Amino acid sequence: MKVIAIANQKGGCGKTTTAVALSAALGHNGVRVLLIDLDPQAHATAAAGYNSAKVSKSIYNVMTKVDNRSCELGDAVLIMEEKFDLVPSCGLLSVIEQEFKDSPHAVSKLHNAISSNLAAYDYVIIDCPPSLGFLTFNALRAANSVIIPIDMGYFSLMGVNKVLDMVELLDSKTGHKPYVKALATMYDRRTTFSEEIIKSLKERFKENLFSTRIGVNVDLRKASRDGISVLRYDMSSSGARDYLSLADEIIESQGEEPFEELESLRIPREEIAHSLDEEEVEVKPSPTRMRTFFNRLSRISRRPVFGKDSVFETLTKKR
């Protein structure tokens, strides 16, 4: 079974769209697929046609320590009309970290739940929240590969390094290192800026960048609005074709090995700054406001992602 986490700290980069559309596209190829919505906002649940407030069991029930609320992973699965199954999310997931603040094995909770259902599915797709916290750490621990969606903007480039930080921390604490690959989303071949981002990604990721590019397509948004995958909405749309191509690429890439060194994938700050300069030239921002922004950005970039008193240090501390 291949477990794929879709992760990026930046929201709006096509993460949930990718999780739902890729699940449908893989299912279209005849493989058994389970989509797990690990985002408390439950966007993937809604995009799959369910109201998170009305589901009886969710991924929260699978992960919780509260006995009268807990259930097995299989008990939370919704059988879909789509060619994939769904474990929905709910708002309670946002407070689950508090249940595990003193548990050294909390980061493996999702991994253990999925491992008990190895025979049921060929692929498990995990839609991570747009934050690098307890839930995303659980997803990375459960995954054997990670897809980082990168839209054609500099904030997504900044998010790449944060995800790599988490993967390296995971490796140092648990010895688990999932395979990492980048996916270009919201690509518009008509703009020079999109081409510049693609060039930067190719130089940085090389073979660890999917050759498939997910183009801008309004049908992707319409499908999410209607609570169905883009394949059901319009199989002939460019969005459907892009995700079918991505599914083919993933199926053909079985057997990829984790990186020995992630440092080569990091995007240097000067490249991000260059992208920022190029992008902002088009909108002609106020120089004074931009100086303020850069000063704030500089301060943020110097902050450690994980301090010695962080929840991850507590949760992954070896005993």
pLDDT by 10s per residue, the chain, length 319: 899 999 998 778 899 999 999 999 999 999 999 999 999 999 999 999 999 999 999 999 999 988 889 999 999 999 998 999 999 999 999 999 888 877 878 899 999 999 987 788 999 999 999 888 899 999 999 999 999 999 987 777 777 888 888 999 999 989 999 999 999 999 998 888 888 889 988 988 888 999 999 999 999 999 999 999 999 999 999 999 999 999 999 999 865 554 444 555 665 555 545 544 444 434 334 444 444 444 444 443 444 434 444 434 444 454 3
Whole-angstrom distance, CA of residue 276 vs CA of residue 111: 37
Sheet containing 33-37: order of strands = 85-87, 33-37, 123-127, 2-6, 145-150, 179-187, 209-215
Tokens of 239: 């969005």
pLDDT of residue 147: 96
User: 2-315 — its CATH code?
Assistant: 3.40.50.300
Q: Are 136 and 166 in contact (CB under 8 A)?
A: yes
pLDDT of residue 91: 93
Put simply, whether the predicted model's pTM sits higher than 0.75 gets the answer yes
Q: Which of 72, 67, 82 is nearest to 20 (CA)?
A: 82
